Amino acid sequence: MEDLVVVGGGVIGLSCAWRAAQAGRHVTLRDPAPASGSSWVAGGMLAPVTEAWPGEEGLLELGLESLELWPAFAEELSAAAGQPAGLHPEGTVVAATGSGDRAELDALAGHLARLGRPVERLSGRELRRLEPGLGPDVRGGLSVPGDLSVDNRALLAALRAAAEKAGVVMEERAWEPGETAPGTVLICAGAHSAALHPGLAGLVRPVKGEILRLTHRHGAFPVPTRTVRALVDGRPVYLVPRPGGLVVGATQSEHGFDTEPTVGGVRDLLRDAERILPGIAEYALAEAAAGLRPGSPDNVPVVGRLDGRTLVATGHSRNGILLAPLTARLVVGLLGGGAVPAAVDPARFGRTGT
Ligand code: GLY
């Protein structure tokens, strides 16, 4: 049995470790604090369509491919772990407030229609019929039933349990730059990956996101069924349902490795979220946290071979949870001697590739 060391115990590292162990590798996962970084902080949207931006059509295709894998991935994971993987099968609505926000959603809907992915446009009243908690400032929007979500913390617990049951050895200590191991090393250290291999220097950067967790309180307006995304005077906000509450996210800024939530970030998220779902004023503010998205130059993941002994799976930017099943599949293919699509290969940046 060949050895694999997976460096990083977030959603990507855990998914790859689990799948590689299932494929017959002897896997060790190295992380001083597994499942505690940006995967723990994340909102957990599986939302390639409502995260789509013109110019990122390749990323949309990857996201749609991974979304298709999600139901079977979650079912298999729940069975292997003996605990729920946290998949929430309800879709997403997108709400706009001012006329500029509605124009932007119209542009997104037009872009998706041109790509052959039409979405349903709804009035404010039609949106409130779907999600009665939406406030009067919501003037229109979209319904995207295929964009789902997952409880990221349930997912991480299930991945860890399934990985351990499949034989993955968890070593809670850091992997130092320059360290080597027998067999293959797979770097999945998210925003921290760049320091771990010269071929990643300057390729992956931390993109801070502040996020809140709200808990439903007795008598408060019920938690929405679907993910609610919104534009509020040009600012994006999302509210993702969880059992007994909501995740509200997320700011986006680049301040190095800063993971402190700020007063301004929390204020902006609460102000915008309350414009969309006024009932959250009665919820409890349970947690404010910040995570570091691993940003890549083109927002597309970096998955492939860096040298004869080293593979990488990082740079998932805003879409790590969504892209976990596809990434694990690509990594297992690489371990079996296969290639990855050129769109994700580090070779696209002139770095060593497959
Ligand atoms: N995928 C949502 C975020 O990165 O905030």
Q: Which atom of ligand 1 is nearest to the CA of 211?
A: 5
pLDDT at position 54 = 82
> First and final CA of the chain: distance in angstroms?
23
Q: Which residue has its alpha carbon closest to ligand 1 atom 4?
A: 318
Report CA 324 to chain centroid distance, whole Å. 8
State the DSSP code for 48: T
Tell whether ligand 1 has an atom less than 6 A from the beta carbon of residue 250: yes
Tell whether ligand 1 has an atom less than 6 A from the beta carbon of residue 320: no
> Could you write out the three-class secondary structure of 158-187?
HHHHHHHHCCCEEECCCCCCCCCCCCEEEE
pLDDT at position 274 = 98
The pLDDT tens digits for 299-327 are 999 999 999 999 999 999 999 999 999 99
pTM of the predicted protein model: 0.97
The residues near 267 (Cβ < 8 Å, ≥ 6 apart) are none
pLDDT at position 298 = 94
Q: How confident is the model at residue 116 (pLDDT cuts 50, 70, 90)?
A: confident
pLDDT at position 55 = 86
Q: Which atom of ligand 1 is nearest to the CA of 249?
A: 5
pLDDT at position 1 = 66
How crowded is residue 139: how many other Cβ atoms within 10 Å of its Cβ? 16
CA of 1 to the centre of ligand 1 (A): 37
Q: Which residue has its alpha carbon closest to ligand 1 atom 2?
A: 318
pLDDT over 70 percentage in the chain: 99
Q: What is the DSSP string of 321-335?
A: HHHHHHHHHHHHHHH
Tokens of residue 79, six digits: 């069975």
Q: Are strands 148-150 and 45-46 parallel, antiparallel or unpaired?
A: antiparallel
Domains defined along the chain, listed by start: 3-85+151-204+297-349 (3.50.50.60), 92-145+207-295 (3.30.9.10)
pLDDT at position 226 = 98
The answer to whether the beta carbons of residues 167 and 26 sit under 8 Å apart is yes
Q: How confident is the model at residue 352 (pLDDT cuts 50, 70, 90)?
A: low
Q: Phi/psi at 213 (nearest 5 deg)?
A: -120, 125
Looking at residues 9-14, what average pLDDT do you find? 98
Q: How confident is the model at residue 182 (pLDDT cuts 50, 70, 90)?
A: very high
> Could you give the CA distance from residue 247 to residue 245 in angstroms, rounded to a whole number?
7
> Could you give the CA distance from residue 323 to residue 61 in angstroms, rounded to a whole number?
11
Q: Which of 283 and 255 is assigned the larger pLDDT?
A: 283
The pLDDT tens digits for 212-252 are 999 999 999 999 999 999 999 999 999 999 999 999 999 99
Q: Is the predicted pLDDT of residue 353 greater than 80, yes or no?
A: no
Tell whether ligand 1 has an atom less than 6 A from the beta carbon of residue 44: no
The pLDDT tens digits for 62-93 are 999 999 999 999 999 999 999 999 999 999 99
Q: Is the predicted pLDDT of residue 145 greater than 50, yes or no?
A: yes
Q: Is the predicted pLDDT of residue 354 greater than 50, yes or no?
A: no
> Could you give the CA distance from residue 209 to residue 170 in angstroms, rounded to a whole number?
27
Looking at residues 119-127, what average pLDDT do you find? 94
pLDDT over 90 percentage in the chain: 90
Average pLDDT, the chain: 95
Q: From 335, 320, 337, 339, select the one nearest 10 (Cα to Cα).
A: 320
